[in-house]
Amino acid sequence: MTAAKSPRTVPFLYALFLLSGAAGLCYESVWSRYLGLFVGHAAYAQVLVLAIFLGGMSLGAALISRRARTIARPLMAYAVMEAVAGLIGLGFHDLFNVVTGAAYQGLLPGLASGPMRTAATWSIAALLILPQSILLGTTFPLMSAAVLRLAPAAPGRVLGWLYFTNSLGAAIGVLIAGFVLVERTGLPGVLAAAATANLLVALVAFVLARRAVDAGDAAEAPAPTGAGASQSQRRLLLWAAGLTAFASFCYEIDWIRMLSLVLGSATHSFELMLSAFILGLALGAFWIRRRSDGTADPFVQLGTIQIVMGVLAVATLPLYAASFPVMALLLTTVSRSAAGYVAFSFVRYLLCLVIMLPATFCAGMTLPLLTRALIARGEGEAAIGRVYAVNTLGSIIGVIAASLLLLPLLGLMGLAVVAGIVDIGVGIALLRASPAGARTLRWGVLAIVAVVVVGVVTPLDRTVLVSGVFRGSSLAVARSVTLPFYADGRTATVSLSESPDGFRVLATNGKADASLSAFARQGCTDSTVRRRIEGDQVTQLLLGMIPLAYHPQGGRAAVIGLGSGVTSHILLAAPALTEVVTVEIEPKMVEAAQFFRPANRRTFDAERSTIVLEDAKAYFASSNRKWDLIVSEPSNPWVSGVSGLFTVEFYRRIRGQMAANGVFAQWLQTYELDDDLVLSVLAAVHEVFPDYRVHQVGAGDLVLVASAEGPLPPPNWTSVLSLPALGRDLCHYVPLDASVLDATLLADRRLLAPAVALVGQPNSDYYPTLDLQAERRRFERRAAVGMMALGDDWLNATHALTRTAVPPREAEVLTMLGMRRESAQWRRTWQRRSAPPPQDAPGFLHDLRYDALGWDAVLAHDAPPADWRPWLAQFQRVVETREGGTAGWVDTTLAANAMGFAVRHGAPPEVLAVLAFRRAVQGWDDVGVLRAAGRLIVPGVRTLEWIGGDELHDGAVIAALRLGDRAEVLAWDRRTAPLAQRASSDFRSRLLSGWIRASAGPASSTPP
């Protein structure tokens, strides 16, 4: 016997097949990302990848099954297939760019919109991954044939081991790709890793094949165990292989959608679900490996497993219902930290297993048993490829039917019940094929009844399903709302909830995407009491008004994402816009948004308004039209697929769709992100657009506004505020004016350029930083606090660095809640008043007045304070309010009174230096700033007892930057940086570091 005949060779082949399985799922995982960039929405991409991947594997297996007996050296053939797959994998990234680039530039724009364009896009996507899929489909029958020839005595055991190792490798591979490789190497790196694994497997298999027996020593197919199977029995086994796969993938699609409501729709959630599904298959194959060869009647064994599988799949529905309080409890107990996220992900994986494992464990047993049964009935090695091909064909039909037809038609519960009945029906058919099984048919009928009963009585409260429990939402609060609208759409579960006070929230997969109060939906009368604008309405209004102000005469606008429909409604208030196209992928969103009428009425009623049901990327890729305004209001970036709307590549395509003087505006959250992630998006914008600005449009929301060509013009607020239709829309609210809208400006390209230069990799389709980290930041409850602090930082670094003075103004009322600069002016106005605020004013306005009165009382004392440090802190609180929202302006009376009191009472020199420093900082007296700072950094002075380290560092360095002296900038940074207390990752720290580095560069004496 040769070395290859040794039983010691078989474990090596199992190990190779484990590695091959890991590579295969790395491909599938990364292909869904690549094709999502081309065909659009991640949900469609996942369906497409699954269908093509399985279809190619089915075709590959079928081709091998036809030539099984003529392949003399299956292990050598296996090595060739792995090697070719690896070589294609190495070139896939470049091939993808070439093919899709040609499609964008030539083919797609020339096709009419609709079915032709969709068919072309999906066909191109299919051809990109089909060759490798076919090659990977050949590997299982070839490896199975190779191992069976080495160990022909126990085909069931061999097949069980092979299914187990390949599936286990796949379950591990999807986790490694998603959680490790993509983050560290990007999508091209994952392809390279998978291709390297293919080539390594091919090399080892080639070495083993060279030592193997020749064709004459090939193992013969085992003799049939009985008198021979009838053709009808063989057909039944193949039908069972296809139908059980159909049911299993209906389960998978259903579970993914159901668990998205518990775990969230982030990419990592889908990876956990997929891995758990495959792990169940692996464990089932592992368990059956010792129990298949000795079975007396495979029909009874298979039939029983099918019935049990159908029952278990539906029986886990009560466990699914219980997973919502489990998730709520988990989020109240686990630490919101990096370590806590690991624990959170592990528990999510366990939840997936609890729901999926019972049925997938049974599913994992079926293929080894079906293949073993056909081999034992004289089919030989051809049975391996034939069963595999039929099984994967059933999987394709299941994926497509469940995603595009059955789920929208039957809903989550209905799909699970129907799939369970299919499995039970297959089990009954298998039992009927055996005389011994006929006695157990009654159990099959009872199983169907049990499945239907469980499906009917399981209490799935829809308000809980769409509660967004994965974000820490209260289930008790969720149960207090009603659901005027609920639907399981093709891409998401869409709901509209209403609280007792009439507040309505539109959500996809439990994640709120838009909201409106009952007040905002009402018409105005003469008795309507105007209120300030709050909540999502601030964002929804300003996202339409701001781009209009930058391009008042634009004629054509496109809006990405319908949401509440309010933004498109606001755009349609401009008569200059002759066409507004709103692109929305989910038809159920259009139905749900109707519940926000009349606040969005023009979106649905205006002749100039068109709603296109298509993925935005696909729509723009195939459109050869030019747009004056493009407004993007996607969901949060942690939602799978959404981060692709914030990448360099997407911005390039959008810029190519803009008219010469076109304007692009995009919403971006700062909550559930951090400063670095916001910077990665700004870096992508900076790389593509010649000019851009950042506006604050809510307590934690931004709008990025960019130009197609040249600098952005100043916003024409008057042109927008004078629109009659808009005036009628805003009749509910406190009147807006240009100064209020001016206060929304947070930053511009000139300010941000030095900070952006420090970003190593902008957010990209191929290096998806935002997608990988946004969910983690959501879990950790992080926020881009540094970015938002630019709006209310007393030092006002934004205006100081760009030399843009902001004088004080009177703000009698607060028009928009959460707008920091406007709020600062409002607080300043009321603190300066001698009269108290109205009794119904917010409590903090009264507190501000008490602070001012308290300070006046301090100045009236004839004696110095016992401790000057609290005195300085109290003074600074008053100053930050009195000078809040201004830049380059000092309340000279306030400053003089403080300095006079300090001098009069013999204050320590440190107190005088701090007072001088703060007055000079706010008044842009740069020389005075450095002079006072020098008095605070001398031996013997405990600097941090008198002034904050960040305040001293920022003030001194900004003053040096404004003076334009590089040496001074670096010197003051060295002297004060050790005193800084703010994290280096804070946006303000990044911004200042960028300006410091730019000041030391050779290009200019001052930063850009």
What is the per-residue pLDDT across 844-882, written as a single tens digit (0 to 9) for each?
A: 666 777 777 788 888 888 888 989 999 999 888 888 888
Q: How confident is the model at residue 600 (pLDDT cuts 50, 70, 90)?
A: very high
Tokens of 308: 């049990």
**How far apart, in whole angstroms, are the C-alpha atoms of residue 23 and residue 646?**
29
**How far apart, in whole angstroms, are the C-alpha atoms of residue 624 and residue 643?**
24
User: In degrees rounded to 5, what are phi and psi of residue 122?
Assistant: -70, -35
**How far apart, in whole angstroms, are the C-alpha atoms of residue 487 and residue 588?**
7
Find, among 333, 171, 355, 187, the residue nearest to 263 by Cα. 355
Asked whether residue 1005 carries a pLDDT value surpassing 60, the answer given is no
**How far apart, in whole angstroms, are the C-alpha atoms of residue 848 and residue 856?**
13
Range in 37-41, 91-95, 648-652, 844-848 the model is least confident about: 844-848
What is the per-residue pLDDT across 404-448, written as a single tens digit (0 to 9) for each?
A: 889 988 888 889 999 999 999 999 888 888 776 666 667 777 778
What is the per-residue pLDDT across 350-368, written as a single tens digit (0 to 9) for each?
A: 999 999 999 999 999 988 8
Give the model's pLDDT for residue 46. 65
Find, among 693, 672, 687, 888, the residue nearest to 795 by Cα. 888
Give the model's pLDDT for residue 845. 66
Secondary structure element (H or E) that encloses residue 364, with its range: helix 338-374
Give the model's pLDDT for residue 838. 65
For the chain, what is the mean pLDDT?
86
- Mean pLDDT confidence for 579-590: 92
**How far apart, in whole angstroms, are the C-alpha atoms of residue 148 and residue 515?**
61
Partners of 514 in beta bridges: 506
Give the model's pLDDT for residue 226. 47
**How far apart, in whole angstroms, are the C-alpha atoms of residue 744 and residue 703?**
10
219 or 375, higher pLDDT: 375
Asked whether residue 224 carries a pLDDT value surpassing 80, the answer given is no
Q: How confident is the model at residue 835 (pLDDT cuts 50, 70, 90)?
A: low
Strands (E) in 180-281, as ranges, are: none
C-beta of residue 378 within 8 angstroms of C-beta of residue 228: yes
What is the per-residue pLDDT across 924-948, written as a single tens digit (0 to 9) for each?
A: 999 999 999 999 988 877 888 889 9
User: Count of CB atoms within 10 A of residue 154's CB?
Assistant: 17
Range in 327-331, 389-393, 882-886 the model is least confident about: 882-886
Task: Tell me the torsion sign for CA atoms 870, 876, 879, 881.
Answer: negative
CATH code, residues 536-789: 3.40.50.150
- Mean pLDDT confidence for 119-141: 86
- Mean pLDDT confidence for 361-381: 81
Strands (E) in 58-137, as ranges, are: none
**How far apart, in whole angstroms, are the C-alpha atoms of residue 185 and residue 528?**
58
Give the model's pLDDT for residue 214. 40
Domain extent listing, the chain: 1-220, 464-511, 536-789, 797-999
Give the model's pLDDT for residue 809. 76
- Mean pLDDT confidence for 547-575: 93
Find, among 701, 306, 334, 241, the residue nearest to 514 by Cα. 701
Tokens of 693: 């600005």
Mapping DSSP to helix (H, G, I), strand (E, B) and coil, where does residue 704 land?
strand
- Mean pLDDT confidence for 211-218: 49
Q: DSSP states of 398-447 as a string?
A: HHHHIIIIIHHHHHHHHHHHHHHHHHHHHHHHHHHTSTTGGGGHHHHHHH
Give the model's pLDDT for residue 107. 76
For the chain, report the end-to-end CA distance as a whole number of angstroms: 77
Give the model's pLDDT for residue 37. 80
- Mean pLDDT confidence for 532-558: 90
C-alpha torsion angle, residues 710, 712, 713, 716 (rounded to 10): 150
Q: How confident is the model at residue 581 (pLDDT cuts 50, 70, 90)?
A: very high
Q: How confident is the model at residue 379 (pLDDT cuts 50, 70, 90)?
A: low
Give the model's pLDDT for residue 928. 95
C-beta of residue 644 within 8 angstroms of C-beta of residue 36: yes
Give the model's pLDDT for residue 173. 93
Question: What proportion of the chain, given as a percentage, has pLDDT over 70?
Answer: 91
Give the model's pLDDT for residue 45. 61
Find, among 56, 5, 60, the residue nearest to 31 by Cα. 56
Give the model's pLDDT for residue 833. 63
User: In degrees rounded to 5, what are phi and psi of residue 385?
Assistant: -65, -35
Give the model's pLDDT for residue 361. 94
Identify which of 30-34, 221-225, 289-293, 547-551 has the greatest average pLDDT: 547-551
- Mean pLDDT confidence for 318-347: 91
- Crossing angle of the two packed helices 868-882 and 843-859, in degrees rounded to 10: 130
Q: How confident is the model at residue 219 (pLDDT cuts 50, 70, 90)?
A: very low
C-beta of residue 636 within 8 angstroms of C-beta of residue 264: no
- Mean pLDDT confidence for 634-656: 91
Range in 592-606, 803-817, 915-929, 945-959 the model is least confident about: 803-817
Strands (E) in 653-741, as ranges, are: 658-669, 692-698, 701-707
Residues in the chain: 1008
Identify which of 139-148, 274-283, 615-624 has the greatest average pLDDT: 274-283
CATH: 3.40.1190.20, 1.20.1250.20, 3.40.50.720, 3.30.470.30. Which one for 1-220? Answer: 1.20.1250.20
Give the model's pLDDT for residue 618. 76
The angle subtended at Cα 302 by Cα 296 and Cα 308, nearest 5°, is 130
Identify which of 371-375, 650-654, 813-817 has the greatest average pLDDT: 650-654
Q: How confident is the model at residue 842 (pLDDT cuts 50, 70, 90)?
A: low
Mapping DSSP to helix (H, G, I), strand (E, B) and coil, where does residue 162 land?
helix
Q: How confident is the model at residue 378 (pLDDT cuts 50, 70, 90)?
A: low
Cα–Cα distances in angstroms (integers) from residue 778 to residues 336, 337, 514, 672, 771, in the given order: 9, 11, 18, 4, 11
User: Count of CB atoms within 10 A of residue 795's CB?
Assistant: 19
C-beta of residue 181 within 8 angstroms of C-beta of residue 191: no
Cα–Cα distances in angstroms (integers) from residue 807 to residues 227, 352, 795, 810, 883, in the given order: 99, 57, 14, 10, 9
Spatial CB neighbours of 377, under 8 Å, sequence gap ≥ 6: 224, 225, 226, 228, 229, 233, 234
Q: How confident is the model at residue 840 (pLDDT cuts 50, 70, 90)?
A: low
**How far apart, in whole angstroms, are the C-alpha atoms of residue 963 and residue 946?**
26
Spatial CB neighbours of 337, under 8 Å, sequence gap ≥ 6: 780
Give the model's pLDDT for residue 3. 40
- Mean pLDDT confidence for 372-395: 78
Spatial CB neighbours of 471, under 8 Å, sequence gap ≥ 6: 264, 510, 511, 778
User: In degrees rounded to 5, what are phi and psi of residue 706?
Assistant: -135, 155
Q: Does the predicted TM-score (pTM) go above 0.75?
A: yes
Give the model's pLDDT for residue 41. 60
**How far apart, in whole angstroms, are the C-alpha atoms of residue 912 and residue 95?**
68
What is the per-residue pLDDT across 258-269, written as a single tens digit (0 to 9) for each?
A: 999 999 888 899
**How far apart, in whole angstroms, are the C-alpha atoms of residue 369 and residue 300?**
11
What is the per-residue pLDDT across 718-759, written as a single tens digit (0 to 9) for each?
A: 999 999 999 888 888 888 888 888 888 999 999 999 999 999
